Amino acid sequence: MRDLRSVIKKISDLKAKVVKDSISPNYLGCILEEMLYCMSTEPDVEIPVYYSLEFDGAGDGYLAWGESLTISCRVLMGWHDVTDKVTEWEISRDSGLPAEDAVWNQSAKARQFDGTITLSMTDAVNDIPGNMAVFSVRAMVDDTSVEAEILI
């Protein structure tokens, strides 16, 4: 059992390094997590749980004038989709225009965000002033905050 705990510690340290270096931890973390799960036969060994947040429908991440794009978020625990267990969603925008971002972040679109959002660059609705914005998403699952950003 001591060896398994040592492996868990080393994998946790590696996972933290992957996250710190801004490399998507999903691939490596999920594989290591599944290995640990399969290796663990001791009931008193706690295996760390890793969550990740992914974006579906973002295409190439570019939105041209006159277009709209629907993005759906998915939360994974290892390889397992746990999106249905999200109890709270939040989204915020940073376009480099603080006053406009503050208004957008308080808009009904942002406040009613439920993991899916349609972003537009049209005369009627322009969610991306300045042609580029970073959208930060946070989901709460099992008292854990899972966060990710996407550049559109």
- Check whether residue 133 and residue 75 sit in a common domain: yes
Residue type, 61: G
- Check whether residue 109 and residue 135 sit in a common domain: yes
- Check whether residue 76 and residue 149 sit in a common domain: yes
Q: What domain count does the chain have?
A: 2
Q: What is the pTM of this model?
A: 0.69
Give, as one character, the DSSP assignment of residue 126.
Answer: B
What CATH number is given to the structural domain containing 75?
Answer: 2.60.40
Give, as one character, the DSSP assignment of residue 111.
Answer: H
Q: What is the pLDDT along the chain (152 residues), one digit of tens a residue?
A: 445 666 666 666 666 665 555 555 565 666 566 666 666 555 565 666 788 999 887 666 678 889 889 999 999 988 789 999 999 999 999 999 999 999 999 999 999 999 999 999 998 999 998 888 999 999 999 888 999 999 88
Tokens standing for residue 39:
């290796």
- Check whether residue 74 and residue 100 sit in a common domain: yes
- Check whether residue 104 and residue 41 sit in a common domain: no
Provide the pLDDT for residue 1.
Answer: 42
Give the angle 9-12-13 at the CA atoms, nearest 5°: 85
DSSP secondary structure, 40-69, as one string: ---TTPPPP--EEEEEES-TTS---TT-EE
Contact between residue 25 and residue 46 where contact means Cβ atoms under 8 Å apart: no
- Check whether residue 152 and residue 123 sit in a common domain: yes
- Check whether residue 69 and residue 42 sit in a common domain: no
Query: Measured between alpha carbons, how far is residue 54 from residues 41, 48, 136 in Å?
Result: 30, 20, 12
- Check whether residue 38 and residue 97 sit in a common domain: no
**Last-in-domain residue among 18, 33, 48:** 48
Query: Measured between alpha carbons, how far is residue 30 from residues 12, 20, 25, 52, 133 in Å?
Result: 12, 16, 8, 9, 29
Tokens standing for residue 150:
């996407």
- Check whether residue 92 and residue 42 sit in a common domain: no
- Check whether residue 76 and residue 119 sit in a common domain: yes
Q: In a 3-state reduction of DSSP, which class is residue 94?
A: strand
- Check whether residue 105 and residue 139 sit in a common domain: yes
- Check whether residue 28 and residue 77 sit in a common domain: no
Domain that holds residue 70: 51-152
